[in-house]
Structure formats: structure tokens, C-alpha cells
Amino acid sequence: MFAYVGCYTTADRNGHGTGISTYRMDAATGAWEHQNVLEGMTNPSFLAIDPRQRFLYCVHGGSGQGVSSFAIAPSSGALTYLNTQPSGGTNPVHLSIHPGGTWTVVANYTGATVAMLPIAADGTLGPATSVVELRGEPGPDPVEQPGPHPHDIPLDPSGQFAIVPDKGLDRVFVFRLDTAHGKLVPTAQGSVQAKPGAGPRHAAFHPHAPFLYVINELDSTVAAYRFHADSGELTQLQVTTSLPADFKERSTGAEIALDPSGNHLYASNRGHDSVVIFAVDPNSGLLTTIGWEPTQGRQPRHFALDPAGSFLYAANQASDCITTFAIDQPRGTLKSTGQVVRTGSPVSIVFAGK
């Protein structure tokens, strides 16, 4: 098993990283051993692995406008650069790979667009075949919400729909992927409105039930939706806080993920510097708060669960470290393993291998 870490490298992003780092992971203990770092690129921030785990893709955030592809060496996990294509807008912040491995979709935060790019059999990227500009009424925060800011673009388990939380417009957009023509097509519903000033940031699908969960950055809440797999329609079920009731300082929501069983949901808080743990009702999709675990670092912009759901890795961007927690799978609670990986400005983690 290999773990790959994306980072920020430029001063405008307060970046201390140097490139994409590769680690060999011990699946039993959760410990990582550093293998190498691929340097010489700007802000290789969010990463994605193709379904067959042969290729890795990254967006170049900040002032960048590109998406790059890399081949993965099966034995060593080493990366070999393949090519780069324009992302269809400035500051690409997230990407996802279609289950068929032949398309990628990208969210461009500053460019206010989402794009679809083809993937060739050799893993290289082709020019964008679809670039869609998001439009709508900005939220009430003039600093954080001056206009559209798409922040994430996960795909539903079938790969038919892309979900786009837009922090600037307080909306969650849904697009159907037309893979025959390489187009992102708005659904009949188009989008759902979040609470004004909520700032939808990232979204996660339940692994086997028709539910979607969104972390709202600006008001530190988590919204639960019923997802209609035939039409892509979203129906809001619940909105709950990601912070303790007695916490009154500034904090913003960042990442969200479910464990492989779908029984527990996790979300990170920057300011409170914690991961909140929820129990998920398998029938209704509603959330019940279990508690909070400090991430032992500042600004957990990202965290990731290993594929087995045994460990949670918190990427503390402002502390230049990744901290490791063992997951009590029946209860969903977290316990520090004591392992701390020192790495500059970590902002995403993905896994490859078995």
C-alpha cells in the first residue's frame, strides 16, 4: 500500500511543500515510510487515483490552471510524469476520476467553472471537452463570497452524476456526466440552496445508501441530503453543527468522509482543529454526534481514511504534519497512534495498492 500526499509550494498559498510525496504504508500498524518526493511543480494540491490504480492525477492550485497525470510504478509506487492540460479555469481545487477511468472532472475555484477532460489508455489527459461556468446570486459574505467558488466535484458511486458544492453561491450543483459526448449536463433540478452564508465546501456520498453529506465551510455545519440516483435530485434531510456548543472562536469546516461501512461520518474543523465524529442512521441517513478528536495540529484542511477504514490521517496544513489515528470500527471513535509525519503544507492524501 502506498500513500501519496499533495501540498502547496508557493508563497501566495503559504506553501512549505516541495512536491508530491510517496510513502509506503504498513496496513497493520498504519505507519508510513517515506519513499521519495516528485518535485519541480507548482502546488500539486488535490490528488486522485484511477480505478485500476495505474495513474495518479493532480490539480495545480493557487494561481495555476492545470491538471497533470503520472504513471504509478507497481512495485515502488514511484511516479513518472506523463502530461499536463489546462483545467478550464484558474485555481483548480479538486478532481475526480470516472469509474471507467476514461474521464476526469475538475472544479476551478477562482475561475468559477467545472470541466471534463478525457483520459487516454496510456493515462495521459486530453484537452477539456466541456467547461461550464457557474452562475447565481452570491452569498452574504463580501470577502468569502464575492461570486461563484466551486470547491469540490465528487462523483456518485455509479459515476453518472457530479456534485459541486459552491462556497460563493451557497448552492450545491448537480451535473450528469454525458460520457458519450464528453459533456457536463445540469440536471432538471440544477442545484439546491444552502442556508445563506453557509458556504458549501466538500461533499461525500454514502458508500451504499442514497445519502449525500456536505460540510459547509463558513457556518461550520454538516448538511444531509437524500440522493435520488435516477435523476440526481437532492432533498435536504438535516443540518447540524460540526462544532461543540461551547466553542465560540472562529472555525471553518474543511473535509468530510464516511468510513467504508457507512456507519460513521467524519468532518474536520479548522480553528477548533478537530475531527467531529457522527453516527449515521442506515435507514434515515440522519446524523447523531458522537464527539470530537483534536487533530494535534493546526488547520486540518484535509484528512483521509485508509481503504480498510482502520486509520484516519489528518493533514494539518499550518503545522506541516500528518497525524495518525486508529479507528475503533464498531464505535467510530479515534485514538492517536503517536505517529506524526512531518511534511510541508499537506493538503490531500490518496492511497494506491493492496
User: What pLDDT does residue 278 have?
Assistant: 98
**Residue 354's pLDDT band (cuts 50, 70, 90):** confident
pLDDT at site 327: 98
Q: Look at residue 353 in the predicted model and tell me its pLDDT.
A: 87
Look at residue 29 and tell me whether its pLDDT is greater than 80.
yes
pLDDT in tens, 295-348: 999 999 999 999 999 999 999 999 999 999 999 999 999 999 999 999 999 999
Task: Find the mean pLDDT for residues 268-292.
Answer: 98
% pLDDT > 70, the chain: 100
Buried b / exposed e over 96-135, threshold 16 CB at 10 Å, is bbbeebebbbbbbbbbbbbbbbbbeeebbbeebbbbbebe
Q: How far apart are the first and last CA of the chain?
A: 5
Cα distance between residue 45 and residue 283, in whole Å? 36
Instruction: Specify the pLDDT at position 262.
Output: 98
pLDDT at res. 219: 98
In the chain, the percentage of residues whose pLDDT exceeds 90 is 99
pLDDT digits (tens, 9 = 90+) for 177-202: 999 999 999 999 999 999 999 999 99
> Grid coordinates representing 184?
457536463
pLDDT at site 46: 98
Would you place residue 64 in the very low, low, confident or very high pLDDT band (cuts 50, 70, 90)?
confident
pLDDT band at 63 (very low <50, low <70, confident <90, very high): confident
Question: DSSP of 140-209, one letter per residue?
Answer: S-TTT-SS--B---PBPTTSSEEEEEETTTTEEEEEEEETTTTEEEEEEEEEEEPPTT--EEEEEE-SSS
Q: How confident is the model at residue 250 (pLDDT cuts 50, 70, 90)?
A: very high
Taking the CA of residue 149 as centre, how many other CA atoms within 13 Å lie in the half-sphere pointing to its CB? 21
Alpha carbon 158 to its chain centroid, in Å, reads 18
- Grid cell, residue 80, equals 513518472
Residue 178: what pLDDT?
98
